Each structure stands twice: as C-alpha cells, then as structure tokens.
Structure 1
Amino acid sequence: MSKPTTLHACLTVASLALAGCATSQAPQATATATAPAATPTLTASAATAAPVVSEGRSINVADLDRSVAPCEDFYRFSGGNWLKNNPVPSYATRWGPRNLLNDRIQLQLRQILEEAAANQSAAKGSNTQKVGDFFASAMDTVAIEKAGLTPLQPELSRIAAIKDLKGVQDEIARQKMLQTDAFFRAGVDVDEKKSTQYTVGINQGGLTLPDRDYYFKQDARTETIRGAYRKYLTNMLALLGDDQATAQKNAATIERIETRLAKASRTRVALRDPQSNYNKLTVAELQKRYPTLNPQRLLTSLQLGAAKEVVVGQPDFLAEVDRVLKTEPVGDLKTYLRWQLVRSVAAALPAAFVNESFRYNQVLTGAKQPLTRWKRMLAATDNSLGEAFGQLYVDKAFSPAAKQKALEMVTNIKASMADHIRSNTWMSEPTKAEALKKLSALRVKIGYPDKWKDYSALNITRDSYLRNLLAAREWDYRQEVKKYGGPIDRNEWGMTPPTINAYYNPPMNEIVFPAGYLQPPFFDPNADDAVNYGAIGGVMGHEITHGFDDQGRQYDAAGNLRDWWTPADAAEFTKRTAIVGRQYDAFSPLDSVHVNGKLTMGENLADFAGLTVVYGALQKQLQKQYGSNPRPLIDGFTPEQRFFLSWAQLRRSNIRPEALRQQILTDPHSPDQYRTIGPLMNMPQFYQAFGCQPGQKMVRTDDDRATIW
C-alpha cells in the first residue's frame, strides 16, 4: 500500500479505535467491600446461589498474583505469576500469549512447508510447488553463500550505470516495483473520498531509522541508536565492496539525504489526520509542483500512465524529494538508491549481511539473538506467497464450526454496539442515524478469503532465494496496479490467513479476522462464553468500534472520508475523548518516558469502547443462556469476573526496555499493561464485578472518568 496504512490493526503497526466508556445504562459501582487481600469478594447471592463448576476452558488461575488486590492493580492480579515465570526469551523482544500461540502455529506451518519442500514431484505451478520451492531456496544457505551478490548484480549494475537525472528517475520507478522504501511510497489505493474507485497514492517514506525523530533527538539513548545506524551503513557498504574510507563517505551521504527527508516528514501524530493527509492533484498539477521528480514520466514507468489524478499524502514532503533530486549530485543519489535496494533484501543475502542487520536491530530492540532461520524464512514465505501458503494452512487448521461460532459472536457484538448508539445520551438523532447506517453496512470477514489470489503468473524455482523474493515483489506490484481503473475488489484481504492479528479498513468499512487469530487461547469454540467474549470478543469489539474512533468516525457507511457528524456532536465527542488522551499521557512505564495520548488515541478508544460494547453483548448472551437462573461460578469467579480476567490475561507481556522505548515512540498502541487497565479504570461494570471502592487505584473519580458510549 502507498500509505502508512489504511488498515487499522489490533496490535502493532498502524491502528485506529473508538471512543468507548461506560454507557448510560452501565450498572453503578456496588457498595460491597473488597477484602485487603487480593481474592475478589463475591456478592452474597453469587456466593451462595450460583452452582460451582470447573469445566470448559476458563482463565488460568495459577497465573494470578493474589498478593495484589484486583482493584489496586488488575494487571498484576490477573497475571503477575505468569509475568514472573515467563521472562523474554533470548531471541525475542517481548513475550506474551500471542507469542505462545505464534510458536504453536509456526510448528504447524513448518510441517506444511517442509512437506511441500520435500515434494519435488508437485505439479508445476501448483501452490504446493511454489510454496515448497520458495521455502527450499530460502533454507539453502550453502547455495546462498556460494551465489554471494550474483543474483542481485543485475539490479546493482542498473544503479551503477546511471549517468543523469533521467536514470535516477527510472531507478526510482524500478524500486517502486521491487517495493523498496526509496524516497516515498507509491501504489494503488481505494480513493478515500470516492470509495467506489481506485486512485494512485503517494506518501512519505525513504528512512532507515524507525521514525523521523530518531534523526534529531539528542538524548543518550537516541545517540546510541544513531551510532549503531552509522555503523550499520558503513559495514553493509563495505560488504558491497566499498573500501573503508569510501564506505564511511557513502554512509555519511545516505545519512545526509535521509535526514533531509526526515526533516520534511510529518510526525506520527500528524499522520493520524486523514483529512490533512488527503490531497488530490491532477497529474498536470503534480508535474508543475514537482518537475524534477517528473511525475508524468514516473507514472508511465509505473504502468499507471492512465492516471489523471493522484492523492498526495504529504505535499511538503514530496516537495523536499523534488529538491533533493534537484540539488544532490547524481552520484550521491545513486548511493542512496543502492542502499535502499540492499537493505530491503538483506535477509536473502549471505550471512554477513544478515548478521549486520541483526547487530543494528539489537541496539534498537534489545534482542539477544536472532530467530532461527526456519522461523525467519517461514515469515518470508508468508509475506511473499501469503494466500498460496495460507490455503494450505486453512485446510488443516480452521474448521467451518469455528468460523460459524466467530460469526455469531460478531453478530451479537454488532447488536450490542447498535444498542449503545441508540441509548447514547449526548449524541443527536441525526448523527445516531448515520452511525447505525454505518454499523449496518459493516462487512465482516472471518478466517480466510472467499476467493483466493491466483499466483499462476508468478514463476518460483529452487535456483535462488533472492530471485524468488524479487519476482514475488514484482508480481505483487503488478497485481496491485492491475486494479487501477477497475471495480473495487471487496474480496481482497490485507492479512494472510495464519496471521495472529485483525484489522478495520475504513475505506472498505470492513473488519477482518484471519484464521490464525481464531485459535486458543484467543478463541475456542468449546470455551466458556465469558472467556471467549473477554478474549477474541474484546478484539472484535475493538475492530468494530474502530469505525467510530477519532479517525474512523470521519468515514461514512460507504467508506468515504465525509463529515457526517453535527458540529455539536463532533465537539462533544472531542471533549470526551480528550479525557482519555490525558489519562494515557499520565502513564509512564519507564523513567522520564510517558505514553503519547495523541499517538495512541485511536487504539485506546477502541480498547475502551470495544470492551464496553462486548460486555453488553456478553450480558445478552448470559441472559439468553441462563435467564433468571443463577449464573455459574467457574474456578470461583462469576462470568463478569472471568470476562475481565480473560481480557487481562491475553494482554499480559514482558518486554525489553529498548523495545518498550521504541514502541512508545513509534507504535499507536499503548504498552500492554495500560491497554489492560486503562479501559477498566473507566468502567463501573468492572468496579461492580470486583467490588471496587472509591480511593482504590483502579477506580477513577467521576471528574476523571471518561464516558463515551
């Protein structure tokens, strides 16, 4: 995609969310006292009347830290023992239930890959042949070492032969096809203001460091990272054949160009404003504004010559790209382009390149050792042949019954969201009508695509991993540009089936849940409803409410970027969400490091609103199941308590300090401990479930409590 991304995922990468808090129908906090010890105090009726059972998958009682009161620190109460007993492994930067599920899925995927790789009689052109040959070539380290840079030589020679600006322009187009990050991102997107058609999009990019601020901050930690970055550049260039003096000179050139691009880049907070990042220009206007880039020629080279208009995300950034092309010597531009190419394929090069990349990432993230090769190459196969590989996975790992159960849960949660919209006390009827229309139009995708991608035009062999990688990238680019001028493909997925994640896509007004996420412990068709609703239900509510968060609410039922709120309702929404922003600004996981409430606003709102809405859906499900009969205790906990415990236990994680600092600077998701407790601190439903009292740390005062849906 050409954007930072329009997919709003539930864990990493770019994300959105919704504003969510206690609704006007939320139960008030009870007067039941909480014992000083951490064991929750049940209401008398629950303790005496409810049947006690221990069947079905429930929360993990052994992981609780009962030395901590749930109303003082629910994150520690719900999973403190697990956190103590599960340090981050040496090959990881963070560790939580998602990693454990990932390990289990990877073992399934590894078996699929190794069987495919062993099957050298698979029909030519079949998914099995392509997946097997890709993985076999990726695992053949002897062949990779022997080949050295030979498979990359045609691309390196192309750059070396550049003699003028025209040659630079041609190489930029070539690298867009090979999906490097040189200078900017470009591709075909759904037009956010006319969602029935595709448009060409151009957005900022071109940096090696994780974010623009890494080029300018002066603290000791950032200086250390910049030092590692310079060493990374120099050593990689030396591996390409530069002598030491030349490598250092070229590294300085790359840093100078990237610093120029960084200075012109918008901050991550500024990138969250969809209106200011939508700037449609005619190709003639583009040509006039950015003559050195020569957009008309660029689009023709990109097989998009038919385009009459382009949506530019950040016009000032593209102006700086134009100035860089005009003022930097051609030789220096070649150096930058060579670097962007090589760093994008380093994982497919000999071990010396792979090791240099890891040493740089060690400083960034604190990782102690790299992942084993088969895990890295499994991820590469998923990235390059995602639906061919995913089809083989789904055949083994995702049942129709699981898909049906997940669809039923989404339907119930949508119904709860509709109730929350109707009962909202501060939203006017015209805005409610538009919100209900949008909710009704929301598309739901579960498990895997109804129509799989056709890889028949992609040739994969066992000859060279690097050639396979480049071929897959070029094939993917050509598939993308084919969409331009055609009808919107509403069957397309932005994640592969084994992915442990989910997303909301605003221009398509859809939520998507890959099969990889719909596995225990996040989802189990045979589990207790309270646990399922607290786990995967929390994710479903999160993604649904992304459509109504500070970003998502700007898109209408058809996915168009259009203001459908009355001015008074929009102002009230902003006023209420500002409380959430202040709450998260105050969270500080490390000395002098605070969560950025503006950067994380969308995800925080989605967590909060989603959990509130899902709680309502669970209550409906429990009423349907038990009516007026007592609801059972499982492992000593009421359904409401199990709901909140399930939510918390699936968000616990240990993380290295280096990775945590990087997350706070670059990730729109708050650290897991605050994703866990942040919503609960605003929910009277939580107070009631655990008998929390005013003055306890998990209980906010009326003035400090956010209330949205």
Structure 2
Amino acid sequence: MSLTSELEPQLSLHFLSQSEPERGKAPPPLKQHPPPTTDPHQLQEQIQLQPVLQPEPLSRHEHQEKPAWMKHQRALLFMLGLTVWAAILGLIYYIHHNFHRQDAAAVPSCLSPACRWAEARLSTSTDPFTQPCGYFMSPCGSSRLLQKNRGRQRGQGIRGHPQNQMEKSVLPERQNGETSYAKLREDKMLSRKNVLLQYVREILESNQNSRSSAVQKTKDFYRSCLDRRSIETAGAEPFLQLIQKLGGWAVSGRWNKTDFNSTLGVLMRDYSTFPFFNLYVGKDPNETASGTHQRYIQIDQPDLLIPIEWNRKTEKSQANAKTLRPFLASCQKFLNLLGSPPGEIMIHVGSFISLSSELAVAASPRHYRLSKGQLHQRMTIKELQRRAPAIDWLGCLQTAFHPLSLSEDDHVLLHNLPYIVQMSRTVNKWLNRHELSNSGPLHTFMIFNLLHTLMPAMDSRFSETAKNYTLALGHSVEEVPLWRHCVLETERGFDSVLTHLLGQKTALREAEEMIENVFDSLKSKLNELKWVDRNSSELVMQKVNSLIPRLRSSEEVSGGDDLDIFFSKVTIRTNSFFSNYLQLLSLWQNRRSKLLTAPIEAADVLSVTPFSLDAELLFPMGMFIPPFFHPTYPKAMNYGAVGFLIAKDIFHLLVPEIYYHSRSVHTVGKCVWSYYINATERASRDGVSALSTAQLQEVWVQHAALQVALQAYHLSLSQNSSDTSLAGMHHDHLLLRSFSQVNCDADPFSESMPLDPSFLIAVVCSTSDLCPTSPQCSIKSQQNSSHAC
C-alpha cells in the first residue's frame, strides 16, 4: 500500500458550519480554506518510523537509490505546512464561533410577558441574516416592495412629518380584555406614531381602576366617543339646542339678533371656533434669535370653508366654478339635515357663499405672505383696532383668553394684515346691509363654522356629507378607525392626563441611560469624521456639546391631585359625547390661554421624535414604548430599535451642518452604495446611477446611526455587563435583528433612502467582527475586505 493511501485525512473543518440555536441551517464560514488532506501527526510518525521498519539490509545498488518518499519530500513538507496552517485558522475560527455560541447559551433568556411577545413577533418576521442579497433590492417606500417582498411585511413611505404618519403597525390583538401574545398583526411598516396611538388606546381601554377622578373622566370621555349608537340616536338635536342657546338663527325663523362681536367672542372662548380669523399663541422668531422667549397672541387668516385657489398672475385667491357646485350641494344638505324649511335654504346658502367669496379674495398662501414680509407683524391692540375697526379686538380677545387680563397697549402678531383689513371692511359692509338685517348672514356664517367644528361629535349623516363633498373635489379620503379618531380627540382636551398616565408606565431610568449612552457615542462618531478644516469641526462640535439631552418626563407632568383639581369642573356623561365634546373644546381654548403665561412649553404627549428647545434636546416619552422598547427586554433589543431611532433623529437635526462641513457624508454614502451595487448586481441590469445629495445624506445617516447604536450598546455593557438574551441569539445578532424591524419607520426622509436599510447589516458585518454569524448576503468577496465605510 502506498504512503499516500495510508495518509487518510483525520482533521475536518465540518464543525465550522454547525448551526446556531436560532437558525435551522448552517451559516457559511467567514472565510473558506482548503480542507486538510493529511494528518500532520500521522505523517510525522510515518517519517520517523521508516528506517526502523526495514526488514533486512539493502544491496549496494539499492543503497544508492533514494526511497520514493524522499523523492517527494519537498512536496510533502509543503502539504504538511499547508495542512497545519489550515488547521490553525480553522481552530481560531472554531474558538471564535463557539465563543459567541457558548456566550449566547450561557446568558439567561428573558421570560417576561413582554419578552415572550417580542420573541413571538421575531418568529413572524424574516431574519435578514438568512436572506440573499437580492432580498434587499426594494428600498422602503418603493412601489415594487409589496410585489417583491418575499413574504416580508413592509409599507410604502409617506410624505409629511413623522408625527402625521398613521400607518398600521404590529401590535397584539385583544382577546377577552387580555393581550394575546400568540396572535400578532404584521400590517405594513412600524409607524412610531401609530404604535404610540395604539399604546395610548391600550391605556384608555384598560379596566384598571384609578383613584384619580381626572383619569376616570378621561377614560369615560374616550368611551363616550366609541359609543356610536348613542351618537346616532341623538342625531342633530344637540346641535339645534346649542343654536338656541346662542340666540337661534334666521334659518330656523327664530333669531333674537344677538350682538355680532359678543357671539364671536363666545364662539372663540367656549367652542374653539374662529370664523373670521384664527387665534393661537406663539413666540416672535425675531426675539427668539436674541434669547427672548415671550409668547404673544397670533392673529392669522382663517381656514375658510369655501374651496379657493391661488392665481399667480393676479396674486389673488379665487373660487373655482367647478368646486362651487359640490360646495353648494353640501351646504344645502347640511341645512336640510338641520331641519331648515326647503324654501328658505337657497337664500341663506347664497348669502353664505357670497360672503365667503369676498373673504377669500384677501386670503393668500403662506409662501406669498413670507415673500411679502407679512408674517409676524407686531402691533398693539390699539393700533389693530384703528386698522380694522369692525371687530371689537380688545373685547373679543379678553373673552377668548379669559381669565387673562389684556389691555389695548399689549402687542399681538399679525400674519396677514391685508386680509385683516379687508375682512374688517367686508364685515362692516354686511353689517350695514339693511335689506339683509332679518336674514343675519354674518350670524349664519358663524353657525356654519361652528357646525364644522362640532361635526366630529355628530351623527354619521354629517360626516358622510363632508366625505362626499371631498370626493366630489377629486380628493381621497382616509378611512380612520374609530378608536384612533377617539384617541386623537381625547388627547385634545385631556393631554395632561395622558402625559401623566404615560409617565407612570415609562421606564424613566432605563430611558435616560439610553439617551446618555447614545448621545455620548454619537459625539464620539462625530469626532471620527473627516472635516473640511479644524474650524468646521469645532463649529459643529460646539453646537452638539452645547445641547443637554433630556427625557421629557416627570418634570413637566402634573401629579394626580393637581389634575383632579384642574378637571374638577368637568362633568363627563358616558352616553352624551356631544356635551362631552363641548367641554373638550373649552379645555382646548383654556390650554391655549395658559400658554401665554406658562413658563415652559406644553408637552406633546403624542410626540415621537426629539426636538431642540433652547439649549435642551428633549426626548418624548412616546419613544420608549413597546414594541420598540421595554424595561424587561434584553438591552440589545432596546438599543437595536430605539437606540438606532434616537441616533437617526439626532443626526437628522444636525445633517445640514455635518454635510456642509464634513467630507465623510459623501464618501461613506458612495461607499455603502458601491457595496449595494456590487452585491445585488444592479450594475449589470440597471446601470450604476449616481445618488442625489438627499440620498447620500440618508444613507450616511442610517449607516452612522446603526454604528452609534452598536457602540452605545457596548458602552452600556461596559457599565453593566449583565444582559439577557432572546430566542438564544447572541447579543449583537439580537440587536441587528431588532434594528431590521424598525428601519423602515415612516419619517420625512424615508423616500430618500435608495436601498433597504437592512442591507446595512451586511455592510457592518463585512467590516467588523461584531456579527456572530455571517449573513447569507456576504459582500466581503465583492469588495476589498480591508476597506470599511
């Protein structure tokens, strides 16, 4: 038997592809090495024993010939060295690979109800580690996504501010009043705003008793909103009774000719209705820049009910004949629902449309007013009275902002003075039209506006009429679930109670620790960037270092006793949503009045993104809720979701400064895009397209945010090394899986992301040793592995 046949391979690298606990198949090894073909110890033993095993002396001729194995000594030694080197590399990989596996196995699994639900949710989602590169072809927001999602549930990006995104989300079904962790809905993408609304819904629908009367009133208000049967049964009668309380109106034939300015003041104070001009409270941006933060009454043009369009040539607003017909039909329908005599309807509708058209002429879009310097024009109430005398400005403002004391020397800010002047002339003209004195067109105009304010609390005939009118104009109508409509309405009047309830459920210490770690890691990331010059770096870092990150928590939340006192005069009737809604409007205006004297900004309980206020960077409690965050989750899961979102939101606040002062944004964006092009082979199919500035920025933001989340997590481990696991996954693997579930969150930048953010996992794994297993979409072979983005 030849020596070659005796050298059977003894060392195998098969263990390099053993499966992880959470995966059903073997991951490919990080690097492929040639399999060993011989056992070095056996080979060495054979070489040492050869002279001893010769049975008899050789002849002289045979002594001169070298044995066959000696003729191939160099080749055998080469094979020996190659085998030993492969064995060493395999052993190193084995130790590294098994270290992560043993580390994950040694860490206790989280068994809390929240973790069991999170684990069930993970099991219904796709693991990006197991997907080929083609899986990442469709970016978030792509119309192709729903056709090529390979079973994934993702949604389309939506334009607009993140707080206006109302997409469906992943939340547990409710069965028999309890949360079911077994049944999950994976509808489209996880929108942070909708997740928060669902969370608030769970709080409002819980049967947990509260000693706070304010909390009980808030829940009763929400339930009365859900009681559609009572609302439908009441019909239009509650609104007709309210009209009589306001002095009636000429449409019904019974009107006591109430004073115009008195009625206007009452509508603004008690019913948050602003027919002729809008009122709100805010700061003067000119003063804010100088460090002054006084608030002023702001007077703006109203949201007119009549449809108008802007004529760029004449720089005037005008009504479109095509839109006037459906508007006329809807007005007739509303009066018909209110029981108006059929023969009188057209007279009042005609006057309402005529008056609306005259007011619309002076209205103008914001961009035009901004170009003309018509925003934030300051003047005293006395001066305003001189410019627009038809309105009793001091009397109306004192009524609207009762019980605050105002004087004619107080300043207000105007946002369209030409409209206010023209509105005053129009009102004065209609007041002095004696032939219309009995029909009360100005009073009817105010009642029509009140109707639109109260329509959410009225029966479905009114909302259906409004819907049909919108459809007739060619606009789409979003079907809003009843529960969401009621949560939003509850927040309008009982926001302080909801903030109190949310604060009770928020893990404040864990949230504050995460904010601090992410912010520290983000500053470290900024220090690593390549800047245009030293001054640019110092400019950006000075701004970042001046910010004080803080969770908006108990410091702004009123206690239960204070809330009970504030809502003591509020009476909620469980079977009368209309009367409850009237109290809500009064509360809303009362909150607006408090802003004039409040030392701090009112907290937005439904906020889901951080914002800067003076020197503080404030993080709302709505960011730290399930399914993104829970105090019993493994920290890796919290950092993969909320840690990433925090970093992404902060980067978005700083992008303009970073982009114009650092070369890294452009360089990293192109680097990640090149990985994507090569890995998905798009270059051969679609050609290599250059990214826009916005796309390069967004690629850099999300790549950097993921790196910051990883760094912040390891920073937290350095402070406290204990952490649990989920589904047997290694911590970094769990963090990246958690990241993959939220990276398509709806925000105003989602449409700028040219690739699926989950692909960033492959980029991170290719340039670091953080990944315990190599993703199936391996891009090391596509790029120089020593080059990291």
Q: TM-score, normalised by structure 1?
A: 0.63
Show the counterpart of 2:199: 105
How far off is 1:132 after superposition? Answer: 4.8
Tell me which of 490, 493, 515 is aligned to 2:603: 493
How far off is 1:481 after superposition? Answer: 1.7
Show the counterpart of 2:557: 450
How far off is 1:514 after superposition? Answer: 2.8
Letter in 2 for 1:451: S
How far off is 1:501 after superposition? Answer: 2.7
Give the whole-Å Cα distance in 2 for the aligned partners of 1:326 and 1:693.
77
Letter in 2 for 1:493: A
Tell me which of 458, 461, 471 is aligned to 2:572: 461
Give the whole-Å Cα distance in 2 for the aligned partners of 1:676 and 1:451.
44
1:409 aligns with 2:514: yes
Structure with larger Rg: 2
Secondary structure at 2:547 match in 1: helix
Secondary structure at 1:435 match in 2: helix
Show the counterpart of 2:272: 179
Matches within 5 A, 1:422-571: 422=527, 425-426=531-532, 428=536, 431-432=539-540, 434-440=542-548, 442-446=549-553, 449-452=556-559, 454=563, 455-462=566-573, 464-484=576-596, 486=597, 488-489=599-600, 492-495=602-605, 499=606, 501-504=608-611, 506=613, 509-515=616-622, 517-527=623-633, 529=635, 531-545=637-651, 547-548=653-654
Q: Is the 8 A contact 2:236 2:337 kept in 1?
A: no
Q: Is the 8 A contact 2:430 2:442 kept in 1?
A: yes
Show the counterpart of 2:453: 344
Show the counterpart of 1:280: 378
How far off is 1:410 after superposition? Answer: 0.8
How far off is 1:488 after superposition? Answer: 0.9
Distance 1:316 1:227, change over 3 A: same
Q: Is the 8 A contact 1:232 1:360 kept in 2?
A: yes
How far off is 1:345 after superposition? Answer: 1.3
Distance 1:643 1:295, change over 3 A: farther
Tell me which of 240, 257, 266 is aligned to 2:366: 266
Letter in 2 for 1:105: Y
Give the whole-Å Cα distance in 2 for the aligned partners of 1:300 and 1:505.
32
How far off is 1:186 after superposition? Answer: 1.8
Letter in 1 for 2:282: D
Q: TM-score, normalised by structure 2?
A: 0.57
Comparing 503-512 and 533-542, the one that deviates more? 503-512
Letter in 1 for 2:339: G
Identical residues among aligned pairs (%): 15
Show the counterpart of 1:9: none
Q: Is the 8 A contact 2:222 2:486 kept in 1?
A: yes
Letter in 1 for 2:213: S
Q: Is the 8 A contact 2:551 2:621 kept in 1?
A: no
Show the counterpart of 1:199: 296
Letter in 1 for 2:493: S
How far off is 1:522 after superposition? Answer: 1.6
How far off is 1:411 after superposition? Answer: 0.8
How far off is 1:334 after superposition? Answer: 3.6
Letter in 1 for 2:365: S
Comparing 77-86 and 447-456, the one that deviates more? 77-86
Q: Deviations over 1:25-66 (max 9, x none)?
A: xxxxxxxxxxxxxx9998549986342459675866743684
Where does structure 2 lack aligned partners over 5 or more consecutive residues?
Answer: 1-25, 32-88, 111-117, 158-165, 169-187, 314-319, 434-439, 670-690, 768-776, 784-788
Give the whole-Å Cα distance in 2 for the aligned partners of 1:694 and 1:237.
72
Distance 1:465 1:409, change over 3 A: same
Q: Deviations over 1:534-571 (max 9, x none)?
A: 42223323444565466xx8xxxxxxxxxxxxxxx997
Q: Is the 8 A contact 1:283 1:295 kept in 2?
A: yes
Q: Deviations over 1:335-384 (max 9, x none)?
A: 442222111211212332243345556774454x6634x55444433332
How far off is 1:239 after superposition? Answer: 1.7
Distance 1:201 1:248, change over 3 A: closer
Give the whole-Å Cα distance in 2 for the aligned partners of 1:519 and 1:298.
43
Distance 1:547 1:299, change over 3 A: farther
Q: Deviations over 1:428-460 (max 9, x none)?
A: 3663465135313x4431489432463334321
Q: How many residues align?
A: 575
Show the counterpart of 1:6: none
Give the whole-Å Cα distance in 2 for the aligned partners of 1:189 and 1:431.
30
How far off is 1:626 after superposition? Answer: 7.9
Matches within 5 A, 1:145-164: 145=232, 147-153=234-240, 155-157=242-244, 158=246
Cα-Cα RMSD: 5.7
Q: Is the 8 A contact 2:637 2:734 kept in 1?
A: yes
Q: Is the 8 A contact 1:234 1:248 kept in 2?
A: yes
Give the whole-Å Cα distance in 2 for the aligned partners of 1:212 and 1:639.
56
Q: Is the 8 A contact 1:64 1:79 kept in 2?
A: no
Matches within 5 A, 1:290-305: 290-293=388-391, 295-303=393-401, 305=406
Show the counterpart of 1:134: 221
1:669 aligns with 2:748: yes
Secondary structure at 1:97 match in 2: coil
Distance 1:60 1:338, change over 3 A: farther
Q: Deviations over 1:570-598 (max 9, x none)?
A: 9769xx99x99xxxxxxxxxxxxxxxx99
Q: Deviations over 1:133-189 (max 9, x none)?
A: 434544555554554444334653437569999944444433332223534432333
Secondary structure at 2:218 match in 1: helix
Q: Is the 8 A contact 1:130 1:461 kept in 2?
A: yes
Secondary structure at 1:489 match in 2: coil
Q: Deviations over 1:490-526 (max 9, x none)?
A: 6x4122xxx47344254584424235x4223221334
Give the whole-Å Cα distance in 2 for the aligned partners of 1:350 and 1:421.
55
Show the counterpart of 1:662: none
Letter in 2 for 1:518: F
How far off is 1:619 after superposition? Answer: 1.8
Give the whole-Å Cα distance in 1 for the aligned partners of 2:759 and 2:329.
45
Matches within 5 A, 1:654-665: none
Distance 1:539 1:289, change over 3 A: farther
Q: Is the 8 A contact 2:358 2:426 kept in 1?
A: yes
Tell me which of 718, 738, 742 is aligned to 1:650: 742
Where does structure 1 lack aligned partners over 5 or more consecutive residues?
Answer: 1-38, 117-121, 217-221, 554-568, 581-596, 655-667, 697-706
